[in-house]
């Protein structure tokens, strides 16, 4: 990471993290085509309902980087918002994961797998380092993914 000048003009590499929250609504059916109907029923219960069901998801994106000496910011929020909208929200919001998001044709669209897919989509954000994705499916369930040192791939 390049050294930055801090507010007093001193060279600094202090990293600060920026978290931003986004919302999307989408539907899914938890079903693994490699398992029998009975196994799917047993594992996923009512989430295996053939017609699917929806959630109002909350997604938190955490990025980090040095504070730019001129702007006092890690990254411009408008740039982050535009990037997230293009890379994730346009494909996810008001969609059926199983039917409309190719990454989930073969992969079960659990919130764990959403975290991994979102991380892959956002890790190329040019202005800061993507640290972590957190997705809450309901008020009671949330999942986090912070990437791997090797290539991030869905199972
Ligand atoms: Ni569900």
Q: Which two three-digit tokens encode residue 62? A: 């955490």
List per-residue pLDDT tens for the chain, 155 residues long: 455 565 666 555 778 999 999 999 999 999 999 999 999 999 999 999 999 999 999 999 999 999 998 999 999 999 999 999 999 999 999 999 999 999 999 999 999 999 999 999 999 999 999 999 999 998 899 999 999 866 666 66
Which pLDDT score is estimated for 10? 58
Q: What is the pTM of this model?
A: 0.88
Which pLDDT score is estimated for 148? 85
Give yes or no: 115 in active site.
no
Which pLDDT score is estimated for 43? 97
Contact 88, 49 (CB under 8 A): no
Contact 27, 83 (CB under 8 A): no
Helix runs in the chain, H state only: 37-44, 77-84, 90-92, 97-100, 111-122
Nearest residue to 31 (alpha-carbon basis) of 13, 57, 53: 53
Q: Which fold has domain 14-25+54-145?
A: Tetrahydropterin Synthase; Chain A (3.30.479)
List the chain domain ranges. 14-25+54-145
Rounded distance from Cα 15 to ligand 1 centre (Å): 36
> Rounded to an integer, what distance in angstroms lies between the CA atom of residue 65 and that of residue 59?
20
Rounded distance from Cα 124 to ligand 1 centre (Å): 28
Give yes or no: 137 in active site.
yes
Nearest residue to 43 (alpha-carbon basis) of 27, 30, 28: 30
Rounded distance from Cα 83 to ligand 1 centre (Å): 26
């Amino acid at each position: 990471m390049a050294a930055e000048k801090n507010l007093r003009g001193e060279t600094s590499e202090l990293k600060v993290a920026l978290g931003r929250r986004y919302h999307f609504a989408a539907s899914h059916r938890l079903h693994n085509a490699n398992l029998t109907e009975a196994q799917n029923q047993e594992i996923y219960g009512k989430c295996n309902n053939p017609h699917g069901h929806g959630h109002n998801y909350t997604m938190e994106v955490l990025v980090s980087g040095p504070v730019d000496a001129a702007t006092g910011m890690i990254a411009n929020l408008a740039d982050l918002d535009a990037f997230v909208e293009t890379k994730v929200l346009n494909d996810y919001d008001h969609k059926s994961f199983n039917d409309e998001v190719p990454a989930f044709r073969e992969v079960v669209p659990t919130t764990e797998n959403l975290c991994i897919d979102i991380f892959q989509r956002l890790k190329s954000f040019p202005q800061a380092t993507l640290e972590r994705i957190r997705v809450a499916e309901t008020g009671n369930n949330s999942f986090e993914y912070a990437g791997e040192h090797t290539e991030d791939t869905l199972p």
